[in-house]
Structure 1
Amino acid sequence: MSTSSVFHTVPSDADVVIIGGGVMGVSTAFHLAETGVDRVVVVERGDLGCGSSGKPIGGVRAQFSDPLNIALGSRSLRAYQDFPHRPGADIRLDGVGYLFLLTSAEQAADFETSVGIQNGLDVPSRMITPREARRLCPYVSTEGLVAAAYSPADGHARPGLVVKGYADAASRAGVTFATHTAVTGIDTSGDRVTAVHTDRGVIACATVVCTAGAWSGQIGGLAGIDLPVRPVRRQLAFTEPLTPPAPRIPFTIDFSSSAYFHNSDDGLLFGLADPDQPDGFDTTWTPEWLELFRAAVRHRAPALAGMRTTGGWAGLYEVTPDHNALIGRSGKLHNFLYATGFSGHGFLQAPAVGEIMRDLYLGRTPCVDISPLSADRFRAGSEIRPEAHVV
């Protein structure tokens, strides 16, 4: 990206050092710079967006089960819809909707409750019949399908284009991007961070923002702060070009298995969360994983099970114990802020979270109450109800 710069040395001091140049880091940088915050440095150990934000397509939705995640998703979705004007970039947003396929009365009841909450927050989701689900997505088999939940406002976009759009705008506003620069230590004094050590020099700073994704636990550890984030590999695959072309379908998820699929260029994209995937930073794509997906869709979308694929991709989820994000200010080091642990929901919440990090830095009241997302909730025993582990 044009904003990436390999530094022989980093700036000697900064008002804000953001650790992590994925979508959360560049969103935070953009929102700070837009407000006139000077001397912001983003430190990234690789290229911008080289971690979880590098995935080929990211879902954007407001279909969640609790008001806080609904608000973050809905606010971010509006920001993505406005992205061509602010900050000014085409992110290939496609409002195809999200379709959850439900195979039990219990699932249908839970989703009906969630749809009621969503509707109360102006999200146009609705419960639909199996026949309607098949009309929206002709690949779906209605056998054994009890109901479905659909929101036409949701869809998907290109995370790489979002990272570039935010980063280019932030760079124009004066943000420094130090790529291929690794954080090696964090100095503290009393209740404050005083400096960030990198392999290209030391940056004295007034505030640190950790947006390091799956690596946030390590960054927090350098400052003596517990950020309970574990890395978990997730894999996806692409079909070969389809003839005739695939119909335009929603982002479709079989809720029972977590198998999902949607349009991707001239074919389809397949994904599924392997429940037996061990923790770790391995991002090797293993074609054998595809058999899990095929087994899951043979009954729910049988035509997909026989489609040929041309390759795939593996990346990392940053997972917390309750599958909800960590957003807030450290109670131990008052100038250490964090936004991490999104458990697969980071891309779709990034615009709203960038605003929140800006407001925390400026001492403003954020657009939503993020106190339930404090990293201290696990020590206090006040975990949030876990969100379903889907994209």
Structure 2
Amino acid sequence: MAPTAVSVPLPEQADVVIIGGGAIGASIAFHLAEAGAGRVLLLERDRPASGSSGKPIGGVRAQFSDPLNIRLGLRSLDAWRNFARRPGADVGLESVGYLFLLGDDSELATFTRGVEVQNALGVPSRIIGPRAARDLCPYLDPRGIVAAAFSPTDGYALPKAAVTGYLRAARRLGATVRTRCPVTAIDTADGTLQAVRTPHGTVRTHTVVCCAGAWSGAIGAMAGVDLPVTPLRRQIAFTGPLDPAPPRIPFTLDFASTLYFHNDAAGGLLMGLSDPAQQPGFGRRFTREWLPPFRTAAARRAPRLARIPVVGGWAGLYEMTPDRNALIGEAGHLGRFLYATGFSGHGFLQAPAVGEIVRDLYLRREPFLDVGPLAATRFDGRAIRPEAHII
């Protein structure tokens, strides 16, 4: 019987150590191994996809306001559509579209500008009227909105299946994956990385890639790198199977309240809300205090949802940055410390493109997209890049 990832011996040396086994880390491991980047080692403190990537369903989209995020989304959507071929796994992609509900003229103006940028980059998004939005999502009360933004090529997929598919392919290509192996220290000397320490041994390496999600700030601190990432709990709830079964609807979001909902594989609905009262922290216990605000928002936009009971839910962590855009780059003062973190809820959907970019940064090749503006140092008195199309 083949050894499990937990029992894989920890190598004494690696060319590159990836810290974090979520969607970003798994994508990077696959892309590096596929490129023949040497001895690739991925270390995960728990199990793959045990953090934010463990969520049951993850949205995939290119509807953003920032051109960088639009291009990351477009590149990744292509990869999600071709995932069965490369790396070779079924991620349950459902191209149902994303539908943003707009409650006033100010929101409409914001999204109209966004659609113009998206269309210029090849996204088939458009502004539609309230009744057209209701045709797409019968739960809506069209009297409560002035318009909606819709892109038919967006949708959702299964993060855990994606992580499993990436890591299976990475192992097949020679990468080593070690789970339940937290990093406890990073050794540096004379401006270079020397080793990564774990409870199971020390690995000599001159290259580390930090993609530890909500825990990235602590990993960066071990190497003297400031990664401004704040953990924030986000929760979703499930209705369980409904009778009659819900129609197939887009991933539907109310921009003002952050309420969102879409189909669930169990024959019901998945519902969520960004709770404005949620305080930063690492807690991941599912609670119900956010459901009254959700029902209040639902009563305005989709009244039937305000009355549907829930049977359970799930809590995970967003990795928030000050401008809600990712941190991607390489620390300039410490040779070969790369990072891809702080995605603020967009990590899964951007994971394929980010894997490509980090691969190219490691190999000192020019990536398909200049991610210089996403460097962690942008907060040192430089202009930030606020993303308007957030949930």
- Normalising by structure 1, we get a TM-score of 0.98
Q: 1:116 to 1:4 in 2, by over 3 A?
A: farther
Deviations 1:195-223 (A, max 9, x none): 00011100001210000000000000101
The answer to whether the Cα contact below 8 Å between 1:220 and 1:227 also exists between their aligned partners in 2 is: yes
The answer to whether the Cα contact below 8 Å between 1:4 and 1:47 also exists between their aligned partners in 2 is: no
Match of 2:133 in 1: 133
Q: What is the SS of the residue equivalent to 1:206?
A: coil
Q: Counterpart of 1:58 in structure 2: which amino acid?
A: G
Structure 2, unmatched stretches of 5+, are none
* Distance in 2 of aligned mates of 1:191 and 1:84: 42
Q: What is the SS of the residue equivalent to 1:360?
A: helix
Q: Counterpart of 1:52 in structure 2: which amino acid?
A: S
* Aligned counterparts, 1:64-213, within 5 A: 64-213=64-213
Q: Counterpart of 2:337 in structure 1: which amino acid?
A: F
Q: Counterpart of 1:124 in structure 2: which amino acid?
A: P
Q: What is the SS of the residue equivalent to 1:139?
A: coil
The answer to whether the Cα contact below 8 Å between 2:65 and 2:387 also exists between their aligned partners in 1 is: no
Q: What is the SS of the residue equivalent to 1:324?
A: coil
* Distance in 1 of aligned mates of 2:241 and 2:103: 30
2:325 is the counterpart of 1:324 = yes
Q: 1:196 to 1:387 in 2, by over 3 A?
A: farther
* Distance in 1 of aligned mates of 2:213 and 2:45: 12
Deviations 1:59-89 (A, max 9, x none): 0000000211000001000000000100111
Q: 1:104 to 1:199 in 2, by over 3 A?
A: same
* Distance in 1 of aligned mates of 2:30 and 2:6: 20
* Distance in 2 of aligned mates of 1:143 and 1:47: 46
* Distance in 1 of aligned mates of 2:231 and 2:17: 23
* Aligned counterparts, 1:1-391, within 5 A: 5-7=5-7, 10-265=10-265, 266-390=267-391
Q: What is the SS of the residue equivalent to 2:244?
A: coil
Q: 1:124 to 1:146 in 2, by over 3 A?
A: same
* Distance in 2 of aligned mates of 1:291 and 1:144: 19
Structure 1 residue ranges (4+ consecutive) displaced by more than 4 angstroms after TM superposition:
none
The answer to whether the Cα contact below 8 Å between 2:251 and 2:261 also exists between their aligned partners in 1 is: yes
* Distance in 2 of aligned mates of 1:379 and 1:354: 26
* Distance in 1 of aligned mates of 2:56 and 2:299: 25
* Distance in 2 of aligned mates of 1:214 and 1:251: 25
The answer to whether the Cα contact below 8 Å between 2:64 and 2:387 also exists between their aligned partners in 1 is: no
The answer to whether the Cα contact below 8 Å between 1:14 and 1:41 also exists between their aligned partners in 2 is: yes
Q: 1:298 to 1:160 in 2, by over 3 A?
A: same
* Distance in 2 of aligned mates of 1:232 and 1:23: 18
* Distance in 2 of aligned mates of 1:387 and 1:131: 25
The answer to whether the Cα contact below 8 Å between 1:4 and 1:48 also exists between their aligned partners in 2 is: no
- Normalising by structure 2, we get a TM-score of 0.98
Give the root-mean-square deviation of aligned CA atoms: 1.2
Q: What is the SS of the residue equivalent to 1:385?
A: coil
* Distance in 2 of aligned mates of 1:383 and 1:22: 26
Offset of residue 296 of structure 1: 1.1
* Distance in 2 of aligned mates of 1:365 and 1:102: 39
* Distance in 2 of aligned mates of 1:316 and 1:5: 24
Deviations 1:141-200 (A, max 9, x none): 011311100000000000000000101000101111110001000001122111000111
Q: What is the SS of the residue equivalent to 1:256?
A: coil
Offset of residue 4 of structure 1: 5.4
* Distance in 2 of aligned mates of 1:345 and 1:234: 13
